[in-house]
Structure 1
């Protein structure tokens, strides 16, 4: 190593300080200057050079510039392998490369590199080392991204089994695995096991004393979504409400993430038959949307339409029709009369009329929605089939079975 390396060490310290302070552009300049020093001294074929190239990839990675990160990780990995074979340092760089491919949505490439890292770490660190376990974890997440849910579950279960044997695996790390297992079960449609896994993830976070964290809140929301899919609406409301309360502590009421979560809570409450609570949520959403986005925003119209469902649940049908009419007026003004979102309001209006026994008005509203959806999304779209089935249900309720059958046959053809 030449005398220039004292200058390289100085630049590294400056880079670390800039990176720690979030000054990533400055860190990039310093990183490139470091590599230039090696080039000027004809010393760009060493492990030290490879490590500094890896560090530059990390900066690009942190900035979300994944193609550039991949470029530097690849070069660093090749040089590390040339200098010291398939070492742990080489595996670390390949691991970062695989995760960058994950972030780019290139799951097949990510899978290949995660598999390579797993083999190296198992051979050099053992099967129960935390780094080896995390390679299994990353493979599981990659399989989930590729919608290979059974394989994802298999990897996560292996990671979990080894983590339980390890004395170096933290409660937060265990929570990570359980949450990913919950997501994999959810993707595969096994909602009971998904719920159980998410609950265990939250339990580990609580034991670690970090329940007031962003991860805990996100996993609570995910748990609410799975409970809704499983048809456990009251439990979904319980978890969603908990997540909304946490989100309110973490951010201002005007933050869109909070408003969206509150809106989701309102929708869940409506599904669970908690109409007064649902209306309360949506009234708050309406106020916040008006303050943050304005009353001309589509979110405002959507909220009015949600409130019409709340009023319907409370049998306040005139208020329900009034809220629906206002939502419809605003959507037509913003989007035109032939937009699919306008059809959503007509579908809601039809259900209100149907509940009121105004079947002729209900049929007219459904037919209006059918016409819009035919022109906007086509006759072979599931939304068109939804409308046909709604009309068929209206005819069936009145004993007009032949008319209902025609609509159902067309809907069935589309579904097939």
Structure 2
């Protein structure tokens, strides 16, 4: 009877019940062996366990069901393919992307052959595979398959079908990671409005849509647009899912990153230390999300000038990501870039230069020459040349990077602003004060408008502008600009 009740509770609308069901499921599983449960009950229990983040227990139950159903119905039965898809989902929750991809490819090929390309189940299988490509950093493959899936779903299921909306979410996220933020924002806002209308504001999928829009704002440097959305998402996730649910932890990570970008480094560091401990305890040391949490904390140490702690953590992050994700994964490359930054800020310019040259080549190969991260790599290399007094080389790279940043990100994006400041510093080092003024004066205005006046980087840049005005003997400008400094 208890397992039948669990089966009846297994649906998308019962998320609030799951936290109360888990102890009862644990009790049932301790009293009965997996094979003694009916397959339906195994799948229902696994569903609840998966939704509550108990991935290992869910995998064990689904794997048992998969072998039983495949033996009974055959490789190509709809029952077998359904359970195979569920098993792939649990693999994905554990960051086991190669196993996920292999299973999803098999499911997609079988569904195309048995059901045809336009059957809803086939389209869902293609959407799942697109998501798996995304998690491996294979964004071009993810975008190509995702766009195809979205077009089919709009045609067959309609714009307001939940599967259509989910695909739009995934495609928006992919565009975001490719630096195609305008396309990502249009899709993301459309999805958020649909989910609020269809599902309500507290549905988990609505909350995820709000989080996606916030991430897109953050990637555009619109941190003060992102923060209220992220704060609300975190409150809702804590209330509905609990403090240690993976989605709640991810919401906390996003807010911590925004605090970091706003210059609220102590708040960010405290949150990220808590997140890392949760990730280690729940997912283990080698899970991609744990490694990413360590990378985020290393960045917080870096921002506060704790170079040795940042370097030690970055070295471990790079080692783990190369092992788990591979050297060409975007997260691995980002971790290597963070390590190069730690070397640079310790005055180890040659080591930083060697890493940045390697990173630039890997990014050109992996994501293309026009991706914002590739352009940022050029700017980082220019900073290494600047630190070594190689002004001509630094100037040439910064001019190139600034032109590309303005083209692809806009003049007021924080990355564009930083490259403009770097170029201004290069001019200052060569006593080219008028050129420095032309760059630095409008850039400070951008900083005040985008990052806000109290941000530490804004205040540092105001100090540099005052220095330029002093060198040019523009004392009225000096007095006027000094008023922007906060005590």
User: 1:315 is matched with which residue?
Assistant: none
User: Of the two structures, which has the highest relative contact order with CA contacts closer than 8 Å and spacing of 6 or more?
Assistant: 2
Q: Which of 39, 52, 69 is the matching residue for 1:80?
A: 69
User: 2:237 aligned with 1:243, yes or no?
Assistant: no
User: 2:121 aligned with 1:131, yes or no?
Assistant: yes
TM-score if structure 1 supplies the norm length? 0.56
User: 2:189 is matched with which residue?
Assistant: 199
Give the CA deviation at 1:57: 3.7
User: 2:213 aligned with 1:220, yes or no?
Assistant: yes
Q: Which of 400, 417, 428 is the matching residue for 1:397?
A: 428
Aligned partners of 2:87, 2:344: CA distance in 1, in Å? 49
Deviations 1:126-150 (A, max 9, x none): 5444433221211110011122212
Q: Which of 175, 179, 185 is the matching residue for 1:185?
A: 175
Name the Cα RMSD after superposition. 4.7
Aligned partners of 1:69, 1:260: CA distance in 2, in Å? 27
* Cα pair 2:133 2:142 within 8 Å, conserved: yes
Aligned partners of 2:46, 2:80: CA distance in 1, in Å? 14
Give the CA deviation at 1:152: 0.8
Q: Which of 342, 351, 372 is the matching residue for 2:346?
A: 372
* Cα pair 1:143 1:151 within 8 Å, conserved: yes
Structure 1 segment 6-405 matched on structure 2, within 5 A: 10-13=1-4, 15-16=6-7, 20=17, 22-31=20-29, 33-35=31-33, 38=36, 49-85=38-74, 86-122=76-112, 127-167=117-157, 170-208=160-198, 210=200, 213-228=206-221, 236=222, 239-240=225-226, 243=229, 246-247=232-233, 250=236, 261=255, 264=258, 267=261, 289=267, 372-374=346-348, 380-382=354-356, 386=383, 388-389=385-386, 392=391, 394=425, 396-399=427-430
Aligned partners of 2:71, 2:7: CA distance in 1, in Å? 27
Give the CA deviation at 1:110: 1.0
Flag structure 2 segments of 5+ consecutive residues without an equivalent.
11-16, 239-247, 275-300, 312-342, 357-379, 392-422, 433-487
* Cα pair 2:230 2:255 within 8 Å, conserved: yes
Q: 1:159/1:266 Cα in 2 relative to 1: closer, same or farther (>3 Å)?
A: same
Aligned partners of 2:27, 2:21: CA distance in 1, in Å? 10
Q: 1:37/1:53 Cα in 2 relative to 1: closer, same or farther (>3 Å)?
A: closer
Aligned partners of 1:88, 1:68: CA distance in 2, in Å? 24
* Cα pair 1:31 1:56 within 8 Å, conserved: no
Deviations 1:48-87 (A, max 9, x none): 8444444454354344343443333233222212211232
Aligned partners of 1:189, 1:399: CA distance in 2, in Å? 34
Give the CA deviation at 1:370: 5.7
TM-score if structure 2 supplies the norm length? 0.49
Aligned partners of 1:96, 1:129: CA distance in 2, in Å? 18
Q: 1:87/1:245 Cα in 2 relative to 1: closer, same or farther (>3 Å)?
A: same
Larger Rg: 1
Q: 1:35/1:126 Cα in 2 relative to 1: closer, same or farther (>3 Å)?
A: farther
Aligned partners of 2:34, 2:232: CA distance in 1, in Å? 48
Q: 1:171/1:53 Cα in 2 relative to 1: closer, same or farther (>3 Å)?
A: closer
Q: 1:376/1:102 Cα in 2 relative to 1: closer, same or farther (>3 Å)?
A: farther
Q: 1:339/1:381 Cα in 2 relative to 1: closer, same or farther (>3 Å)?
A: farther
Aligned partners of 1:339, 1:266: CA distance in 2, in Å? 17
Structure 1 range deviating more: 206-215 or 70-79 = 206-215
Aligned partners of 1:33, 1:91: CA distance in 2, in Å? 29
Give the CA deviation at 1:181: 0.5
Aligned partners of 2:427, 2:82: CA distance in 1, in Å? 64
Give the CA deviation at 1:171: 4.3
Q: 1:194/1:251 Cα in 2 relative to 1: closer, same or farther (>3 Å)?
A: closer
Aligned partners of 1:23, 1:249: CA distance in 2, in Å? 22
Secondary structure of 1:76's aligned partner? helix
Secondary structure of 1:23's aligned partner? helix
Aligned partners of 1:79, 1:263: CA distance in 2, in Å? 45
Q: 1:202/1:189 Cα in 2 relative to 1: closer, same or farther (>3 Å)?
A: same
